[in-house]
């Protein structure tokens, strides 16, 4: 939680010296800049780098240290000074002024360090330090301290200490943010790993399922072909149903395998979508001819991606557009593309049966089907794979109603190279 300085700024200004007021305002302005910088800091190192520099500049001191509490030790994590101080060293909390500051949760201001019992003089003798001011980072259970040091004897003024304390207060927020961010990064990484594991498992499982399935399918087919005469109608029906079930399971396993294989590919390169679509149409030639489908394709751009995955995307979408056609209607599919800011907006529109608005999000889930197997067979995996592929390409996909009454799938893909424009 943000810490608010205990004293209001009005009370720290020394009365009667206008030059101090001018200094104080300038320091406050600088502090605002530091707060801005700190708001972008994502790790403790960046926080320290910003703070050790600011701590010295704000007060014009000859040196500044950034001390972190490390159990019962004070760890001099970072510094910025005219000559080296104690960077990298650890001192017991009880034998160090930063320890006193952290234990007491309040600043220490010392004009003559050799005349203060809290100061371990031996540690200071090799340094330039004559005077110092030290403030805790967080007043409740301090996590560290910020020190300012002067080479000439100097009585740190109230406003110098107040500015330093304000810096320490924003630093504590920045440290907490950095810790949260690091924690979040760790969780994101763990999640990515577990996702990968899951995907890997799905792949291995579906791959290994193919073998026994092949055995079942071929044997059942052998049975029905070679022993046809020895089976009565009921037995033939059993065999037929078993074969159908096994084939459906094969398709399911195949679709799952494709879904699990859609993984982040290391190297994305420039892919001409027009070429991808040409190949998809070749692969789907039989289905397109048999269904009498008409497919119109606008000029399509080049995008950054993986051609095999993008091919799978269009194959699934075209396959759906043909499968879910209106009975007695020639499938009419239009693939369009327009530029939209930093993205390409690609649409795949059909004149098929469309998707009820209530299900337009659900259809992208795994194993989501809206029809029974005998009306429109399928595994309910295809659109989940489409979404996965589009997201791997940093894009978005959704479905709306098409003007012709069917479905319009919308895909946004980042524009890789603005200048390469349309490539038909």
Partner 1 sequence: MNILLVEDNQADALLLTELLEDTEKAPVLHWVTDGHYALDYVYRRAPYQNAWQPDLILLDLGLPRLSGYEVLQELKKSACTVPVIVLSTSGNPEDTSRCLDLGARDYICKPRNLDGYTALVQRLMMLELPKTA
Question: Which of 214/330 has CB closer to partner 1?
Answer: 214
* d(C-alpha 190, C-alpha 334), whole Å: 41
Rule CB under 8 A: choose which of 22, 184, 205, 222 binds partner 1.
222
Q: Which stretch binds partner 1 (CB under 8 A): 53-61, 147-155, 214-222, 396-404?
A: 214-222
Q: Which stretch binds partner 1 (CB under 8 A): 206-214, 282-290, 310-318, 343-351?
A: 206-214
* Closest separation in Å from C-beta 217 to partner 1: 5
- Binding flag, residue 214, partner 1 (CB under 8 A): yes
Per-residue tokens: 208:
């290994």
Residues near 89 by Cβ (< 8 Å), separated by ≥ 6?
75, 76
* d(C-alpha 25, C-alpha 158), whole Å: 14
Per-residue string for binding with partner 1, 58-87, x by CB under 8 A? ------------------------------
Residues near 148 by Cβ (< 8 Å), separated by ≥ 6?
55, 56, 59, 61, 63, 64, 132, 133, 134, 156, 160, 164
- Binding flag, residue 281, partner 1 (CB under 8 A): no
Per-residue tokens: 173:
């927020």
- Binding flag, residue 241, partner 1 (CB under 8 A): no
* Closest separation in Å from C-beta 271 to partner 1: 16
Per-residue string for binding with partner 1, 11-40, x by CB under 8 A? ------------------------------
Rule CB under 8 A: choose which of 194, 215, 299, 373 binds partner 1.
215
Question: Which of 125/226 has CB closer to partner 1?
Answer: 226
- Binding flag, residue 207, partner 1 (CB under 8 A): yes
Residues near 275 by Cβ (< 8 Å), separated by ≥ 6?
307
163 in Cβ contact with 59 (< 8 Å): yes
Q: Which stretch binds partner 1 (CB under 8 A): 156-164, 169-177, 219-227, 406-414?
A: 219-227
- Binding flag, residue 264, partner 1 (CB under 8 A): no
Per-residue tokens: 280:
């998809």
- Binding flag, residue 250, partner 1 (CB under 8 A): yes
Q: Using alpha carbons, list the distances in angstroms from residue 269 to 31, 119, 147, 315, 416.
A: 45, 63, 52, 20, 9
Per-residue string for binding with partner 1, 375-404, x by CB under 8 A? ------------------------------
Size of the site for partner 1 (CB under 8 A): 14
391 in Cβ contact with 330 (< 8 Å): no
Question: Which of 250/347 has CB closer to partner 1?
Answer: 250
Q: Which stretch binds partner 1 (CB under 8 A): 128-136, 209-217, 286-294, 309-317?
A: 209-217
Per-residue string for binding with partner 1, 97-116, x by CB under 8 A? --------------------
Nearest to 158 by CA among 10, 2, 33: 10
Q: Which stretch binds partner 1 (CB under 8 A): 160-168, 220-228, 325-333, 365-373?
A: 220-228
**Would you say the C-alpha torsion 120, 123, 126, 127 has a positive or negative sign?**
negative
* d(C-alpha 286, C-alpha 274), whole Å: 20
Helices of type H across 106-157: 121-124
* Closest separation in Å from C-beta 374 to partner 1: 20
- Binding flag, residue 199, partner 1 (CB under 8 A): no
- Binding flag, residue 410, partner 1 (CB under 8 A): no
Query: How crowded is residue 216: how many other Cβ atoms within 10 Å of its Cβ?
Result: 16
Cα dihedral 150/153/159/165 (nearest 10): 40
70 in Cβ contact with 90 (< 8 Å): yes
- Binding flag, residue 225, partner 1 (CB under 8 A): yes
Question: Which of 119/258 has CB closer to partner 1?
Answer: 258
Per-residue tokens: 223:
């049975």
Helices of type H across 129-262: 158-226, 233-261
Rule CB under 8 A: choose which of 176, 221, 263, 400 binds partner 1.
221
**Residue numbers of the site for partner 1 (CB under 8 A)?**
207, 210-211, 213-215, 217-219, 221-222, 225, 247, 250
């Amino acid at each position: 939680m943000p810490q608010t300085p205990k004293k209001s700024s009005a009370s720290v200004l020394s009365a009667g010296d206008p030059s101090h007021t001018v200094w104080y305002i300038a320091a406050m302005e600088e502090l605002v800049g530091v707060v801005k910088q700190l708001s972008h800091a994502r790790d403790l190192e960046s926080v320290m780098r910003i703070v050790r520099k600011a701590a010295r500049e704000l007060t014009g001191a000859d040196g500044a240290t950034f001390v972190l509490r490390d159990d019962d030790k004070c760890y001099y994590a970072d510094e910025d000074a005219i000559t080296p101080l104690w960077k990298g060293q650890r001192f017991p909390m009880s034998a160090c002024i930063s320890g006193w500051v952290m234990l007491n949760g309040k600043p220490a201001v010392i004009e003559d360090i050799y005349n203060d019992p809290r100061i371990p003089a031996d540690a200071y003798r090799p340094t330039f330090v004559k005077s110092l001011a030290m403030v805790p980072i967080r007043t409740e259970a301090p996590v560290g301290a910020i020190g300012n040091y002067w080479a000439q004897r100097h009585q740190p003024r109230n406003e110098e200490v107040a500015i330093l304390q304000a810096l320490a207060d924003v630093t504590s927020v920045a440290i907490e943010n950095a810790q949260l961010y690091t924690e979040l990064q760790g969780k994101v990484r763990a999640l990515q790993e577990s996702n990968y594991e899951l995907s890997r498992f799905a792949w291995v499982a579906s791959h290994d399922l193919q073998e026994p399935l092949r055995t079942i399918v071929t044997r059942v087919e052998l049975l029905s072909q070679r022993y046809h005469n020895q089976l009565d109608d009921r037995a033939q029906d059993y065999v037929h149903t078993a074969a159908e079930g096994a084939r459906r399971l094969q398709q399911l396993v195949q679709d799952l395998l494709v879904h699990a294989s859609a993984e982040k590919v290391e190297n994305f390169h420039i892919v001409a979508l027009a070429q991808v679509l040409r190949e998809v149409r070749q692969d789907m030639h039989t289905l397109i001819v048999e269904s009498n489908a008409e497919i119109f394709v606008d000029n399509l751009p080049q995008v950054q991606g993986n051609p095999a995955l993008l091919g799978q995307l269009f194959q699934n979408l075209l396959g759906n557009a043909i499968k879910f056609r209106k009975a007695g209607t020639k499938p009419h599919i239009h693939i369009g593309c327009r530029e939209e800011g930093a993205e390409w907006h690609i649409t795949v529109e059909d004149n098929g049966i469309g998707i009820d608005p209530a299900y337009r999000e659900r259809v992208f889930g795994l194993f989501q089907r809206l029809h029974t197997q005998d009306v429109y067979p399928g595994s309910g995996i295809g659109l989940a794979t489409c979404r996965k592929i589009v997201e791997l390409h940093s894009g978005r996909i959704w479905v709306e109603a098409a003007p012709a009454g069917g479905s319009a799938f919308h895909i946004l893909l980042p524009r890789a190279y603005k200048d390469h424009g349309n490539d038909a």
